[in-house]
Amino acid sequence: MSDSTATQAEVKSQKRTLAVIDCDVHIQPVSYDEIKAYMRQPFRDMFNLFKGRGIFDNPLGRTTIKGNTPSGGPIASDPNHLREQLIKPNNIETAILSPWIYADFFSDPDFKAEINAAFNSWVHDKWLNSKVNYDGVFKASITVSHQDPNLAVKEIERWAGHPDFVQVYLDSGSRAPLGQRQYWPIYEACERYGLPLAIHVGTDGLGGNSRFTTGFPNRYVEWLTLVPCNFQAHLVSFLTEGVFERFPGLRMVLLEGGTFWLPGMLWRLDALYKSFRFEIPWVKKLPSLYVKDHIRFGTQPMHRPDNDEHFRYLLEVIDAENIMMFSSDYPHFDTDVAAEIFPRNISDQMKNKIFYENAKAFYNL
């Protein structure tokens, strides 16, 4: 650890004073019987979410926080316990919730839509009711699947008027790059209802969809290292297909796909755009110029060099102050704590924008 890294006293002070909006908090039911209760037949009998999902599953488990909630359920299944373990200690003003669903692991579009609808109803009833969410700290995601955009739009329309559902949420695993026009009805609905689109790591190459690498890796560590390849492919697709020209009000956040790959990819795309813009005449300006107006990136995982000065420089190069939003990824094995991810040589202004102001504006909180 370098000399410029924050001391323990400074970290504690930041925890007391730093207002935080956490853009990626994962929740789960005590039992999947909670979810089945919302499902119609025959889907209820078909539903056994994680059985057989061994390919590229995390060998450390899905959480690093051991034990159970006071009521005996798994971590992140009890709203009151989550308040005590995450919200209060980290001065979190708003937590954007997303359950572990991975419905896109399955190939049947009707089954996927039913799973998502059941989870959305469960989130509404368990996490957003006035007794639990009395102060509005919990906001939620409308989770949909992309295989059948019409079913996705129906689910968006079901919840779009609810003040505590603040974004539409897609897995990054898909059968085609997500900028392609077959998915546009989803983005039209997002724009129409003023809902940001979140794309989160999930189901990449798990059978029902593909990943943008040379093939299937042998181990989880290799799979996880290469996750940003999918995010780069999706982002280039959005930029070259002209999605933000077609839907100028669309806002998008990429979660858990990393960020420091961004400059090199945009430099390459901008250079090639100058030579091949005749292929994409609907793109009216350099592709990189759409990023600041439309796209945000979650901080987690915050991989960083050992040298704090190099880290600060990387943040400047990617314009982190304007495009990054804090995400803890609670309660996964690599959960980040806001007060611990930046060294002392990061300005207070940058921290405040990343931890709070960017998300407040993005979600219209």
Q: Has residue 2 been placed in a domain?
A: no
Mean pLDDT value of segment 328-343: 83
CB 359 within 8 A of CB 365: yes
* Residues listed for the chain: 365
Minimum mean pLDDT range among 52-56, 91-95, 334-338: 52-56
Q: What is the CATH number of the domain that holds 94?
A: 3.20.20.140
Q: Is residue 10 part of a domain?
A: no
In a domain, 35, yes or no: yes
Name the pLDDT band for 165 (thresholds 50, 70, 90). Answer: very high
Nearest C-alpha neighbor of 149 from the set 91, 189, 115:
189
Asked if residues 67 and 75 have their Cβ atoms less than 8 Å apart, the reply is: yes
Question: Residue 95 belongs to what H/E stretch?
Answer: strand 92-99
Domain annotation covers residue 7: no
Neighbours of 119 (CB within 10 A): 26
Confidence of residue 13 (pLDDT cuts 50, 70, 90): very low
Confidence of residue 11 (pLDDT cuts 50, 70, 90): very low
Per DSSP, the residues of 302-362 read ----S-HHHHHHHHHHTTHHHHEE----BTSTT---GGGSS-TTS-HHHHHIIIIIHHHHH
Residue span of the structural domain in which 30 resides: 18-362
Q: Is residue 344 part of a domain?
A: yes
Residue 33, domain member (yes or no):
yes
Report yes or no on 45 lying in a domain.
yes
Given a contact cutoff of 8 angstroms between Cβ atoms, the answer to whether 105 and 53 are in contact is yes
Average pLDDT, the chain: 88
Could you tell me if residue 1 is inside a domain? no
Domain tally, the chain: 1
Residues in CB range of 169: below 8 A, 6 or more apart: 98, 141, 142, 143, 144, 198, 200
Question: pLDDT per residue over 251-267, tens digit each?
Answer: 999 999 999 999 999 99
Least confident range of 32-36, 94-98, 214-218: 214-218
pLDDT digits (tens, 9 = 90+) for 31-44: 999 999 999 999 99
